Amino acid sequence: MKKILLLCALFLSAWTSAQQIKWMTLDEALAAQKDNPKKIFMDVYTKWCGPCKLLDRKTFANPYLAAYVSEHYYAVKFDAEGQETINFFGNTFTNPNYDPNRKGRNATHQFTQFLGVSGYPTMVFLSETGDPIMPVVGYHTAQQLEMYLKMIKQGDYQVFSKPEDFENYRKNFTPRFKG
């Protein structure tokens, strides 16, 4: 019996340690949506942002969250001050004031401004057709972010008609991701 329990524990440990979010570019995610429609989960970050690094180290490293995101979303990493060219709904977004020699903060990318991102980190959800659904601003633990991931995936946000609806949803949500 002890051997079976040990084998189960080793299997579970190997499974949870192997789970990582499969990050892609926005172009890759939008192309993938054409063959297999899924919502997009976009991490808008900066290189100098402490809470952004904490999200990577703690929240996104959670094997339960990583498995959920990888299964139900196309996960996109976007540097809010980077120099990537973004083509989105017929518009081209760049960062014309980007300075490659600058350490720390850099110019804000036009796509960051288009998304209305005002703080870092911000996680932006996009629909299966690429339409923005909602942003989630700031550092969140895996258990805190779980509510948004499931609410967006299941479409529950579409039935909220007043702020109290979201508050009731939040109060009644029971996180299942383990720490």
The predicted pLDDT at position 12 comes to 47
Strand partners, 125: 41, 134
- The tens digit of pLDDT for each residue in 75-89 reads 999 999 999 999 999
Q: Report residue 154 as tokens.
A: 């299941």
- Measured CA to CA, the distance from residue 52 to residue 72 in angstroms comes to 22
| CATH numbers and ranges of domains, the chain | 19-172 (3.40.30.10)
Task: State the pLDDT at residue 19.
Answer: 77
pLDDT digits (tens, 9 = 90+) for 89-122: 999 999 999 999 998 899 999 999 999 999 999 9
Residue 16 in this model has a pLDDT that exceeds 60: no
What's the predicted TM-score (pTM) here? 0.86
Tens-place pLDDT, residues 20-77: 999 999 999 999 999 999 999 999 999 999 999 999 999 999 999 999 999 999 999 9
Instruction: Identify the CA nearest to 60 among candidates 168, 132, 144.
Output: 144
